[in-house]
Chains A and B, each alone.
Chain A
């Protein structure tokens, strides 16, 4: 049988969860601000490319990281500009940007490097892996939690940062007010467009780290369409976590678990096409199970309400 509880397996789970978790945190911020950021996929793809190119040409990792963020935020800005100021339907706008970036990244890659398919001719830099002192010496737990990429730890920190931002700062309060009821927020003097713009730009920064993780940590090159739907999986995770940072992290971890489970099946003679399906099938199943659960909760609440009213009467 497949042994799922080895430290190596759990290490892989954390490794493949990282990009989903980062993008999911970006989705959380947007959902809380009442904007749907379908363009996460395109943001990740763009930052994955610009990070590789800039780090390759400057041979400086931090400039590369900056380049990745600028690339991702540029796409987020385009979405914000068209959706908030030119009133493009935000979903259609997101779809358009995702279509644009799938080919657009290949166009830029070919124009700058002459490569098509992968940036093999660019010697880009990678984010380093880090061994955590003390924890790395603990058996099993050390094997699981230590030695991950810098961006993996950033992703974990990001969960707390996003939580702090949303629930402990004035900006977070305003952001949630805009998401809950934009009219009410605007009546007390909050600039709804501006808050949503900031939310989209911020999500661009966070998702960019997810994109760079793909090309500068998980793999060492940019390859065509390498994000492969992770931006959408992150949206599903944020929906399942009800845009709560903790719940969303658990949902992301679940999807990471399923993807790793798929890799485990690879050595068991199961056709590769079925293994490729695992993350997507589990996302659909996850969405359905969660939606079922939510419906039951709503029904329960309704019954409770009726009951309370009866008692009162």
Chain B
């Protein structure tokens, strides 16, 4: 029996790999077709899209810089969706996390080293509170967490903008931005010639922590059980309400940290005037990474590569940056399609069964 199970596993994982690759290839083909359609120099555009991220050392740095918040957001969405909650609050948590980190950076006089950690902690807690609200509403009154979390994102965005623009705005900054952060609050840059910053250690640490949490602790086990089958989890004595609460809090905590790390690592002032374009990328990173903390960074790097490529392409050609959201949308919807390539799976199973007997 074990042998059969192992056999099935290997077909399943082979099939998954095939499905993921085909989904990504189709999405890239769609992009390819669109570029051919709209661009006057399509091959120039494609060259920038695919080779731009490795054309210069600085660009490789950009990929790593972009992958840091994407990994945080991917972890955030992975944890929240794993409890079977469609909570989209990570973008609101990201924005408020950035805001809170900026405020802590500007107002609390703390020594180097401790200062950014305190900012991260505050940002995480505020992020956690934001994503907990839809969960509480869901648990108490059974109202859709999807709608309430999306509404809450608009509230968080405006609250953050209000706080920065009305209380911490530097009138001499030239643009709409906060005062300059003191040097003690900044996350130091690690690699000369890039903006790769200390946040990379924090994100690696969080990947390990979340992996241990999900795979090795009883809380992580309860979370996975709740996500797989809520009723079964309930009957086996798991407090699913508590699971939903702490999973959404942890998800928001991670997204809040993403905002803090981004603001203190990449900028010297708070410069967001609207939701960053990658704020919703947690969904695609989580879907691509199969909600597995180990795969999430890989998915984040892949997505960061596409983002930097699209950025290079939009600067150097006549195709706009927003094309990536078309690629992303197609990747998500195809990977989530359970019946996509279904008959290939059957063929693979048959082949496997006949070849070994």
Contact = CB atoms under 8 A, between A and B. Distances in A.
Contacts of B277: 103
A241 to B, nearest CB: 14
A139 B343 CA distance: 68
B184 interface: no
B232 interface: no
> Which of A228, A232, A233, A235 has the most chain B CB within a 10 Å cutoff?
A232
Contacts of A274: 158, 162
Contact of A96 (B34, B143, B332): B332
A138 interface: no
A77 B183 CA distance: 53
A82 interface: yes
Contacts of A106: 320, 322
A102 B159 contact: no
B336 interface: yes
A229 B275 CA distance: 14
Contacts of B336: 82, 88-89, 92-93, 96
B141 interface: yes
Interface residues of A, number: 47
Q: Main SS of the interface on chain B? A: helix
Interface in B150-189: 150-152, 154-155, 158-159, 161-162, 165-166
A97 B333 CA distance: 8
A281 interface: yes
Interface in B61-89: 86, 88
Interface stretch (B246-254, B323-331, B346-354): B323-331
Interface string A271-313: 1011011001101100110111001000000000000000000
Contacts of B161: 273
Contacts of B323: 103, 107
A110 interface: yes
B287 interface: yes
B141 A288 contact: yes
A288 B332 contact: no
A96 to B, nearest CB: 4
Given A86-B338, A273-B161, A103 B141 contact: no
A229 to B, nearest CB: 6
Interface string B111-155: 000000000000000000000000001000111101110111011
A87 interface: yes
Contact of B137 (A82, A102, A284): A284
A100 interface: yes
Contact of B280 (A86, A99, A104): A99
B38 interface: yes
B294 interface: no
B325 A102 contact: yes
A287 B86 contact: no
A232 B147 contact: yes
Contacts of B191: none
A291 to B, nearest CB: 3
Interface in B6-49: 34, 37-38
A99 B86 contact: no
Interface string A217-252: 000000000001100110110010000000000000
B254 to A, nearest CB: 19
B257 interface: no
Nearest to B37: A111
B326 A91 contact: no
A95 interface: yes
Contacts of B38: 111
Contacts of B141: 287-288, 291-292, 295
Given A89-B336, A102-B325, A228-B154, 16 more contacts: A82-B336, A85-B339, A95-B88, A95-B332, A96-B336, A99-B329, A100-B328, A100-B333, A107-B320, A107-B323, A271-B162, A273-B158, A273-B161, A274-B162, A281-B151, A287-B141
8 contacts: A86-B334, A88-B334, A99-B332, A228-B154, A229-B154, A271-B162, A281-B151, A288-B141
Of all A-B residue pairs in the complex, the 8 with the closest CB atoms, nearest first, are: A103-B325, A100-B329, A291-B141, A103-B322, A86-B337, A273-B162, A96-B332, A111-B38
